Structure 1
Amino acid sequence: MNQPSDNAGAAASGLPRLVLAVAASERDAFFPPPADELGRLAQVRTVEPQDVQTLAEFSDVMGDADIVVTAWGFPRLDAERLAAAPRLRLVMHAAASVKYLVSDALWEREIVLSQAGSAMGPAVAELSLTATLSLLRRTHRMDHALRAGIDWDTAREIPRAREMSGSRIGVIGASRTGRAYITACQALGAQVTVYDPYLPADDPLHGVAQDLSTLVATSDVVAVHAPETSETHHLIGAAEISAMPDGALVVNTARSALLDMNALFEAASAGRIDVALDVFDTEPLPVDDRWRLLPNVLLTGHRGGATADSRRRAGLIVVDEIQRHLDGRPLQHAVGRNDLSTRG
C-alpha cells in the first residue's frame, strides 16, 4: 500500500517530493526507525515496488515525484514511464546494478542517476574471503560428509587442507569488491595476482597484473569480482576452466554469467575442482538443482552484500547523495551513460 510520510508540513515548506520504492522487508535496514533522515529532506511517499509495475500505477505514484529511491524490483525507466514522471530529476538506487533500471530516455531527459553499490563492497569481499578460507580448509567437504551420516574416518579422508598464507589467489576484476578482497587476502599472506584489462598503468595493482590465461593456469584460487557486461559474459569459459590445475578452487560472488556454468559444473562434478557460489543462472535456486548435490561445492543464496552493516552504509549514502543533489553539489556516486559499459 502507498503511504505518505508523516512529515506533515513538508509540502507547504517547499520540500521536494520523494518516492521511496524499497520493499518493506529491506526498508528499515536502509533507514532504521526512529530516524526520519529522508523526511527531513523531502516529502516522502513510501510504496512497494510491486505496486508500481503497470503504467497506470506508476503514473499515479510518480506523477509529481522529484526524486525516487529504488532498490530491487522497480520497473525499467523507459520513455513511456519517464513521460509519466515529468518532474523527476534524481534516481537514487540504493543497491548496486542499475543496468536493468535505465534506458536512453533517462539520459535524454538529463535525469541524474546515482547508486549506493560501494556500500556492499566490504560485505561481498568478506563473504568471498569466507568462501575462500572454507574451500582451502575443506570445511565444506567435511560438513557435507558429517551431515550425510558418513563415518568419522571416511569423512576425514579429504584432500589435504591448505592455508591462506602462501596460496596463489587469482582475482578477476579490480572492482571495489575485488580490491577489498585483495587487501584481506594479502593481509593473510596470500600471493595475489589480478586480471583487469581496464587497470591503469599507474594503479598500485599493476605490478601484480596478469593476463587471464596465465592467471587461471597458475592460481590455487580463482575469485570472480568483475561486473556483468557484454565483454565479461562467459569470460571464464570452458577453455579457461580446463586450464585450471587439478585441485583448483573457484569462488564466485559476482554474477553467474561471467562463467560458463555448464563447463564449471562438469569440472566440479568430476571432482577436479572445488567451487563456492553465491550467484546462479536461475534464482531462486530450484530445490532439485544439480549444484545442490555436489559435496565439493559450497552454496550461499545470493546474500553476499546483504549484511546489516552494508544496508545501513547504503542508506547513509542515499541520504548524503540526495542532500548533495538538493544543495547543487557534485554527487559522489553518480553513474553516467558511459559507465554502464564497465559496470554491472
Structure 2
Amino acid sequence: MSHHLGVGQGQYRPGSPIRIHLSVPAKEKEAFFPLPTLHSLAALGEITESDPAALRTEEAFREALDGVHVLVTAWGFPRLDAARLALAPDLRFVMHAASSLHWLVSDDFWATGLPVSQAGVAMAPAVAELSLGFTLSLLRRTHRHDHALHAGQSWETAAGSERAREIGGARIGVVGASRTGRRYIEMCRALGAGVRVYDPYVKAGDPLAELTTGLTDLLATSDVVAVHAPATPETHGMIGADEIAAMRDGTRFVNTSRPSIVDMDALFDAVASGRIDAALDVFDSEPLPVDDRWRGLPNVLLTPHVAGATADSRQRAGRIVVAEIRRHLAGEPLQHALTRDDLARMG
C-alpha cells in the first residue's frame, strides 16, 4: 500500500510518503501492537522498526531514523538531545507509547517545537485497580493470613486476634489527584469508602475540591493511605519520617507510584515494628535484591513494579498511539500532547 502525506499540513510536503518508525523493546512489541493494532498503524504510513537497545551508536540511530517523520518510542530509547535530533532532520512528531518522558526529552528537544504525546493514560485503570486490590487485601488482612499459612503457623495463629475491616465505611486518604489517583478514588467511593485527598493543585470547581485536606490531617485520620502523586522535585521525600509518625497505629499504606515520594527507611521501620502494614509495587532498588529487607516482613504485600503492566493496558496504549498519530497526520488537535510545563508536574 502506498501512503502519502496530506495537503494542508504545513510541516509535510504534499505527495511525500509517510514514514513511521516503531522502536519498542522486543518483549513489549506484541503487547502494545497485536496484529490488528499493527495493521491499523500500517494503514497510516510505511513502518520501519528497531529495538531501542540497538540504537546506542550514532551510526545506528542515523540509519534507523533516516527519512522518518513519526517516531514511536517506549522504554530504553536514546535521549533526544541535540546530537540525536540532528540525525533525524525529517522528524515531525514523537509518540511515546509508555508514560514518563523525563528521560526521553531534553532542553534541545523542547527548543525544536516538535509535538510530543504519550499514552500514559492507558495505564491509569490498571494502576488504580492494583492499588484497590492492595487496599482490600490490607483491610482484610489477606497478606498476613497468607504469609502465616505459608510459614506453617497454626490455623488459629494465622487467623490472628485482630478483626479485618471492610472497605465500606473505611477512611481512605489519597495523596495525589493524578489520573491514577482519580480512578482509584472512583473505585473506592463506588464501594462505599469515605475518601479525602491531598493535592495542592486541585482547583476550586474541581469535583474533588470538596474532598481535599492537608497532608498531616489526611495521614493522621485515614485507615488507608494510598500514594498516587508523581515523582517530581516538589514531591521528593514528601512523606518523610514525621509524616509517617503522624499515621495512627494500624494504618495501611499503599504505594503504586514512586519510592522517591516516601522516606523508605522510615517506612520500613514503621512496618517492621508492626505499627502499620504496607503494600508496595515500587522500591528504591529495582529489581528488588533477593536478600532485600522488605522480603522478610510478614505484614507487607510486595509486587515487582507491575501495576500498569496488564495485557489490557498495553493494548489500550497501542490503540492510543495509532489514534494520536492519525490525528497528527490529519492536522487535528492531539488528545494526549504534552508541553514542557505539563511535564514539570508529571512523574
| TM superposition score category, shorter chain reference | over 0.9
Of the three residues 132, 152, 156, the one matched with 1:153 is 156
1:32 corresponds to:
34
Is 2:219 the counterpart of 1:194? no
Q: Please point out which of 234, 238, 248 is paired with 2:251.
A: 248
Q: Verify the 8 A CA contact 1:31 1:37 in the aligned structure 2.
A: no
User: Residue 341 of structure 2 corresponds to which residue in structure 1?
Assistant: 338
Q: Does 1:66 align with 2:63?
A: no
Structure 1 residue identity aligned to 2:117: S
**Residue 267 of structure 1 contacts residue 273 of structure 1 at CA under 8 Å; is this kept in 2?**
yes
Take 1:60 and 1:233, find their aligned partners in 2: how far apart are those partners? 39
| Cα distance change of structure 1 residues 154 and 107 upon mapping to structure 2, 3 Å threshold | same
1:287 aligns with 2:285: no
Deviation at 1:156, TM superposition (A): 1.3
1:296 aligns with 2:288: no
Residue 22 (structure 1) aligned with residue 21 (structure 2): no
What is the deviation of 1:30? 1.4
**Structure 2 gap segments, 5+ residues each:** 6-14
Aligned to 1:317: 320
What secondary structure is seen at the aligned counterpart in 2 of 1:314? helix
Structure 2: distance between partners of 1:97 and 1:75: 14
| Superposed displacement of residue 240, structure 1 | 0.4
What is the aligned partner in structure 1 of residue 8 from structure 2? none
Query: What's the CA shift for 1:135?
Result: 0.3
* Identical amino acids, percent of aligned pairs: 60
Contact 1:134/1:140 (<8 A) preserved: yes
Secondary structure of the corresponding residue to residue 42 of structure 2: coil
Alignment gaps of 5+ in structure 1: 1-6
Distance 1:170 1:52, change over 3 A: same
Matches within 5 A, 1:69-108: 69-108=72-111
The TM-score normalised by the length of structure 2 is: 0.94
Deviation for aligned residue 1:73: 1.1
Give distance in 2, aligned partners of 1:153 and 1:144.
14
Match of 1:3 in 2: none
Deviation digits for residues 212-255 of structure 1 (CA, Å, limit 9, x no counterpart): 11101111100001111110111111110010000101100011
Question: Given that residues 138 and 158 in structure 1 are in contact (C-alpha distance below 8 angstroms), is that contact kept between their aligned partners in structure 2?
Answer: no
Shift of 1:11: 7.8
User: How far apart, CA to CA, are the structure 2 residues paired with 1:308 and 1:98?
Assistant: 22
Preserved contact between residue 15 and residue 41 of structure 1 (Cα < 8 Å): no
Q: Deviations over 1:144-192 (max 9, x none)?
A: 1111111211111253211101111000011111011001101111110
Specify whether residues 11 and 320 from structure 1 end up closer, same or farther in structure 2 by C-alpha distance, changes over 3 A only. Answer: closer
Task: Tell me, in whole angstroms, the C-alpha distance in 1 between the residues paired with 2:36 and 2:124.
Answer: 27
What is the count of residue pairs matched by the alignment? 337
